[in-house]
Amino acid sequence: MNAEEILKTMFRSFFIIATGIVISMYVFCLIFYPDASFTLYDIGGILKLAFISDLPYLLFYSNKELSKKQMYIRKSVHLPVLLAVVLYFAYLWDWVDLNHMKEVIVLLLLILIVYVVVFAITICYDKKLADKLNHRLRERYRS
């Protein structure tokens, strides 16, 4: 992806990630801190974390169009980097206690679930569109 495409993707992803963080925080607090209350500072934290989580998208930057295989390789690097970045900032802002393994695992699982759901939705949409395009191509050139 070139610089323009990366910026567009990051802009779109920012809102998806922010929504994902809110859902994850809701589930996380429901499990571990049911009495938790959120301040203006925490809302700022959500937006900051969404921005920081967006940065690993820069791994997809390339002047040339990446092949399918190259894209899968970068995607497999992107996920662990994203998990590490989120875990580091969650620890830095006292959102998670690294001494409680259960908390860490639930947090990582929640991120993973959001990541996989978004990925699966995108793949399904692209698959449907590819089927439609193939159908139209066959109609136009192979009939």
Partner 1 sequence: MKIVIEELQDGEEDQIIIKCREMPDELLHVLAMLKSQGALIAYDGNEIHRVQPKEIYYIEVVDNKTFLYCEAKVLESKQKLYELGSYLSNNDFLRVSKSVLLNLSKIKSLSPALSGRFEATLDNNEKIIISRQYVSDLKKMLGI
Where do contacts with partner 1 occur on this chain (CB under 8 A)?
1-2, 4-5, 9, 60, 65-68, 71-72, 75, 122-123, 126-127, 129-130, 132-134, 136-137, 140-141
Distance of CA 105 to the CA centre of its chain: 17
State the nearest-atom distance from the C-beta of 58 to partner 1, in Å. Answer: 14
State the nearest-atom distance from the C-beta of 127 to partner 1, in Å. Answer: 6
State the nearest-atom distance from the C-beta of 116 to partner 1, in Å. Answer: 14
Distance between CA atoms of residues 77 and 84, nearest Å: 11
Name which of 75 and 100 has its Cβ closer to partner 1: 75
State the nearest-atom distance from the C-beta of 22 to partner 1, in Å. Answer: 24
Name which of 2 and 98 has its Cβ closer to partner 1: 2
Name which of 4 and 35 has its Cβ closer to partner 1: 4
Selection from 81, 77, 82 nearest residue 111 by Cα = 82
Name which of 39 and 140 has its Cβ closer to partner 1: 140
